[in-house]
Amino acid sequence: MPYAENDGVNIYYEVDGTPGAEPMVMHHGYLADLESWRARGWVKALGDRYHLILVDSRGHGRSDKPTDPEAYEMRNRVLDVLAVMGAENVKTAHYLGYSMGGMIGYSALIYAPQRFATMSCGGMSPMLRPTGTARPPLDWDALMKLALKNGAVKAAYDAGRIERPAMEACRVPMDEWNGAEQALRMAKMPVFMYAGTEDTPHAGCALAVALNSKARFLSLPGKNHTTAAESVDLIVPALLEHIGGVKAE
């Protein structure tokens, strides 16, 4: 099984799609794992066009699961992606991330924009979050009760690939993340954003698209965080239209 290593943390990944085609890194959301891309139909929809590199985020799936919140700082998460790309001898890639994976994608615009030919992020806004208000402590039982209604999360949980200590540590930097507005303003590659109208990030994405002429936002009427992630038939044509003319090595 293929692993890449970043400063002692092993990151599991798999490859799919078309060998020799342009590489696309796919990064799942919080509490899920790389299998979510297959289960929702993304691999089937994109595999005939791209060489897909599916990553299990640290703390998730078959990757190592640190329990120190500092291990989950966004720079480390971006370096995980770069380690996987290095293991596959990929210089530049397209990037597709959802939710937490979108957060890591926007962070890549800060830390390593030169490594990505295009950036596509769903279910996450790049805009700054309000500051100065204390966030409530994580209620794990309430979170899981809600999260297990999501098929991708339940599959990962039922397979034993979700562990509470790692997930609690992972949430700390996520809750403290303050966006990537300036990085989006300066991005030179096409940026594609999508979110459902019933999802919290929708408003921020609708504002963010004005920051860069290379950005596009696809609004998904009536979709929430889960159903937007499953709207492959609606998203893929728009995504390919926006990024399809740009090459990755």
* Distance between first and last Cα of the chain: 24
pTM here is: 0.94
pLDDT tens-place string over residues 82-135: 999 999 999 999 999 999 999 999 999 999 999 999 999 999 999 976 554 555
Separation of alpha carbons 230 and 140, rounded Å = 25
227 contacts: CB under 8 Å, gap ≥ 6: 196, 220
> Which of 8-12, 107-111, 177-181 shows the lowest mean pLDDT across its residues?
177-181
Domains and CATH numbers, the chain: 3-127+136-243 (3.40.50.1820)
> Which of 5-14, 56-65, 67-76, 155-164 shows the lowest mean pLDDT across its residues?
155-164
Mean pLDDT, residues 22-33: 96
The pLDDT assigned to 199 comes to: 96
State the pLDDT confidence band at 232, using cuts at 50, 70 and 90. very high
Separation of alpha carbons 194 and 227, rounded Å = 12
Mean pLDDT, residues 61-68: 97
- Categorise residue 106: left if φ over 0, alpha if ψ from -120 to 50, beta otherwise: alpha
